[in-house]
A and B are shown apart, each in its own frame.
Chain A
Amino acid sequence: MTVDTLRLSAEEANRLVTQGEVSSDELYRAYLDAIGERDPELHAFLYVCENDPGEGIPIAIKDVIGTRGIPTTAGSKILESYVPVYDATVIANCRKRGLRVIGKTNTDEFAMGSSTENSAFGPSHNPWDPTRVPGGSGGGSAAAVSAGLAPWALGSDTGGSIKQPAALCGHVGLRPTYGTVSRYGVVAFASSLDQVGPVARNVRDCAFLYSVISGRDTNDSTTVDVPRVELPTADDLKGLRIGVPKEMNGAEGIESGVTAAVQSALERAESLGASVEECSLPRSVDYGVACYYLIAPAEASANLARYDGVRYGLRDDGADFREMVMRTRDAGFGDEPKRRIMIGAYALSAGYYDAYYGTAQKVRTVIKREHDELFERFDVLVSPTSPTVAFPIGAKIDDPVAMYMNDVLTIPSCMAGLPGMNIPCGLSEGLPVGLQLIGPQFGENTIFRAGHALEQAIGFDVVPERLR
C-alpha cells in the first residue's frame, strides 16, 4: 500500500507496522522518499540516516541530542565532525520501543535562537511558506513533522524551543515539567532550564512519545519519578478550570489575528464545559525575558567552557595552549553563542554578580510564586504561544533584542519549571496560530486531556495548505 506521510499519525503508522500492513522498512523508505522530495526546499535535516536499525516506526531527532555513531553537531561548526560514542538516554528509550532514527534535525546553534537562522549550516524553512522561519531553536524538527518527513520528533526546550516552532509550523509540541525527561547525552545549554520533549502531529502522539522518553534516570540526577501517562480520550472539558493571564493575552506585540484565534479557542473551551476566567501574572511577563536572558547565558557560559579543542570538536592552531583555545572558540562558535557566553561571563563576573545573576535568581522566585498561586485556583493557563505568526527569514536576525522578544510568552513558565504544550488553534494571514496550555508541575495528563479535547473541537488541519 502507498503511505501518505503527510497525513499519517504516529499512532496509525505504528498500527500499520504492528498489524503487518506495511513493513518497518517500507515505512522508513516512504519517509526517506518524502525527505528526498521536500527537504531540499525546507532544510529540516542536517543528517539523514539511510537505514537505522529497529522494527518500529521512524523518528527525527533534534541535533542537540547525542546519537551513537550518528553525527551530532548542535548546529555548530565547533561540533561539525563530532560523532557520539554513546546514545543519550532518550535515544536508548526510543530504541527499546523499536523506534528508528531517520535523521538529525536543524537547530539554532546550541539551541540558542527562535528561528534556526543561527544554525551554522543555514536556516530551515517553514513548510507553510518557505520564505518564512519555522521558529526555533527546534525549527528542523518542527518543519520535518509539519511536512510529513517524520511521523514525530524529539526537540529540546530551554525558553520555548519546542513550543514556539510548533506554533509557527502548526502542530503539537510539549515542553515537559523540568526533571521528567533525562538530559544525559544531550548537549547542554542552560542546565536549570533545558528539557527534552516530544514534537508530534496530534496530542495523543505527543502524550505517547512523552511516556516513552520520560522517567527517572540515574545518569541525570535532576530526574524524578513521573506519574503514569494517560493517553487522552475524552472530548469534553467538564470541570476544567482555565485561567487566562491578562498580561500574556494582552502583551505588547501580539498580532490581532493571533488574539482572535486564541479567543475563539477559549469560546470553544467554554462550550465544551470548561470554566474560563481572567487572572494575572503581574510580574512574570514583564520581567520574564530579562530574567531568562541573564540566567540562561550565565549557565551557557559555564556549559560551553568545555569546547576547548582538547577532547573533541574543532581545534584551531595556536603557539600555546591558551592561544589554541581562544582561536578554536573564535573559529568554532557563531555570533549568538558568543553573545550569550559573553553576557553570561559578564553577569557572573566580580562586581556584577549580585546586580545581574543574583538579582535574576530572585526574580525567578517571584515568577515561580506567581504561577504557584494561580494553580491553587486553575488547572491550566492559556495564552498564545508566540505573539506573532511565522516571520520572514532575515526580518529579525540583526536585532538580538527583538529576536529575544519572540519568547516573551513561552519563557515565564519555563523559568518556573512548568510543563507547557502548543496546539494549533487556527490561521492568521494563512499561517498557523499556536495556543499554549500551561499546567502545574507534573500536570502533563491535565494538559493532554485539555489539548486533546480542544484539538478535536477545533479540527485544525496540520497539513500545510500548499502541500495538500
Chain B
Amino acid sequence: MARITKEEVLHVARLARLELSDDDVAKFQEQLSDILEAVSKVSELDLSDVPPTAHPLAIANAWAEDVPRDCLPLDDVFANAPDRDGDYFRTPPA
C-alpha cells in the first residue's frame, strides 16, 4: 500500500493541533506509514454482513436520578489553570 506523503502528515498534524518540527515530520512520515501498513490488515476480511461494535457491553441508556448536588468550588476549578482572570480562564486572543 502507498506510503503517506509529507503533506498528509502535515494535514493530520493540523487536524490534531500539533505543530511539528521538520525533523519530526520526516520521522513520523516513516513511522506512520509503517503503522498504517500494519493496521491495514483489517481490510483483508469479508465483513459485508457484520455490524460494527462501538462498546463491548450490551447496555444502553444508563439512567441516574436527577438530583442537584454541589459542584467544585471555583478556586478548585482554577487550581490548575495556567492563567486566570477573575472567574475566567485567560488565553491568547483567538
Contacts and interface: CB of A to CB of B under 8 A. Distances in A.
A85 interface: yes
B87 interface: no
A189 to B, nearest CB: 15
A327 B19 contact: yes
B82 interface: yes
* Chain A residues touching B, majority SS: helix
Interface in A291-316: 291, 293-294, 301, 305, 308-315
Given A85-B79, A293-B38, A359-B42, A415 B89 contact: no
B47 A222 contact: no
B53 to A, nearest CB: 4
Interface in B6-26: 8-9, 11-13, 15-21, 24
A329 interface: yes
B8 to A, nearest CB: 8
B68 interface: no
B80 A313 contact: yes
| Most A CB within 10 A of own CB, among B11, B51, B53 | B53
Given A287-B41, A320-B93, A342 B18 contact: yes
Contact of B79 (A83, A315, A324): A83
A31 interface: no
Nearest to B49: A362
B86 interface: no
Interface residues of A, number: 75
Chain B binding surface, main DSSP class: loop
Given A311-B80, A321-B94, A355 B43 contact: yes
B76 interface: yes
Nearest to B9: A342
A319 interface: yes
Nearest to A399: B34
B80 A294 contact: no
Interface residues of B, number: 54
A329 to B, nearest CB: 5
Contacts of B34: 400-401
Nearest to A414: B56
Nearest to B21: A330
B57 A224 contact: yes
B81 A415 contact: no
Nearest to B34: A401
A37 to B, nearest CB: 34
A315 B83 contact: yes
A321 B76 contact: no
Given A330-B19, A339-B32, A363 B79 contact: no
Contacts of B12: 342, 345-346, 349
A136 B89 CA distance: 36
B22 to A, nearest CB: 12
B53 A364 contact: yes
A325 B81 contact: no
B35 A400 contact: yes
A365 B56 contact: no
Given A293-B35, A311-B80, A342-B9, A329 B18 contact: yes
Interface string B20-60: 11001001100110111011111111010011111111010
Given A287-B41, A287-B45, A339-B31, 16 more contacts: A85-B76, A85-B79, A86-B72, A222-B57, A320-B92, A339-B35, A342-B9, A342-B18, A343-B32, A355-B43, A362-B51, A363-B42, A365-B51, A401-B35, A404-B35, A417-B57
Interface of A: 81-83, 85-86, 178-179, 192, 218, 221-224, 283, 286-287, 289-291, 293-294, 301, 305, 308-315, 318-327, 329-330, 333, 335, 338-339, 341-347, 349, 355-356, 358-366, 368, 400-401, 404, 415-418, 441
Interface of B: 4, 8-9, 11-13, 15-21, 24, 27-28, 31-32, 34-36, 38-45, 47, 50-57, 59, 62, 64, 72, 76-77, 79-83, 89, 91-94
26 contacts: A85-B72, A192-B56, A218-B64, A221-B64, A286-B41, A287-B45, A290-B39, A309-B91, A321-B93, A324-B91, A325-B17, A330-B19, A343-B39, A345-B12, A355-B43, A356-B42, A362-B45, A363-B47, A365-B53, A368-B56, A400-B34, A404-B35, A415-B56, A417-B56, A417-B57, A441-B57
7 nearest A-B pairs in the assembled complex, by CB-CB distance: A417-B56, A361-B52, A312-B80, A315-B82, A326-B19, A221-B62, A85-B76
